[in-house]
Structure 1
């Protein structure tokens, strides 16, 4: 009985590191960049060595290892770089490309869902005004219709009165063959107003996006909520416009001043050259803000 317990205990203890290793490996496999980075460090290869072997810049190698594929020339180039990097490290290129496709598809789906949530928030904010405007329009239309109907009825009544006086004045005596019979003024049924209804229309860890533009000034944004961001700088024609999700970070190096527009400013923390910027007093009623940083 004791041997069985010890055997079970040994199995349990032995199973723990295996499960932990499998969980860690599963986490590493979640992104192609983390897998490339882990394998390079296991082989004790430097970034410079990899860049020389692949005939790439170190900037591109860092982009591959951090899954910052927006820094690469395009999707076709990213796939080619991943395939070459995988071969250099002894990894399966086809498996790496499959992980890359799953990663980019999942990230795109997250961004699309964030855009939909953003649209629903905007609709919810505007809904009271839409309902109020619709009700006001219906009320004004009913009032105008009632006024128009009342004026027509008064005009018809006045015309009939003048006609009756004229006929009576022409009667001088004798037998009256027939008295004119006047129909009462027509009445219209008021249709009930119809109510009109208005239809309604995050993840694991921080995701850092780094942009290197000409210049030495730095702006960093940390997103505690989803927000659409547009940023430009004086040093060139570069523009970044993207929906960033909760937990993401955006680091931009360029030339001040920076022009920044955010549609959900309360959910963003902003720093310029290492110092946090307080822009709470400039946030509009719809939570958007437009800033010029570094003037």
Structure 2
């Protein structure tokens, strides 16, 4: 017997359906109670749609299934009807996330005391070796330095402005001049304040030097008799003849023609 396809208006209650099926099967309440182990008062209450004595909806559904099985009745439509009349079946609580969280929870890491002790021993041994290697002198000096760390530094001595002398450009020493050969003429040209073009010839007109001298570069030219020198941008060069500086070679941008022989510088 099935009531699942009955119209809603004609559908009997859950208790009435169970009672009708029990009577149709020719069974008494006592027989159903013996078969299902559901107490007789509870069978009477369920057939009267009183589920308050079941102890909750979960137990009520279990009793409905047992009674329906005893009278050869499909219990699924009765369970659905019961849920519809009593607020529906609660949604099951998913257990998988809790299980996963418990499964992947790692054990708390314990401190690795062995590694810590090994590291401490290595540090002590290394410090002792370093102390022995450096020796006691450095230790004494370190103690002295530590003792003086709190001392205030001595103030720097002040000098009266009248005692401060300007830094003078060193002149070529006599030994440097004396070191040059006196039977030759020696010229040193330095492009001090800019580049300069130079040309140098000997007494016979032979070309000794010719080219551009970049700023900072120097050329040294030597001859036995005479050097005829041509300087472009003469004011930018520094000129030494036989170890002595020639002052005021010329103005910047001008071309100067000079001639020198052994001995003191003399402009030709």
User: Considering the TM-score relative to the shorter chain, is it more than 0.5?
Assistant: no
Name the structure with the higher helix share.
Answer: 1
| Normalised TM-score (structure 2) | 0.29
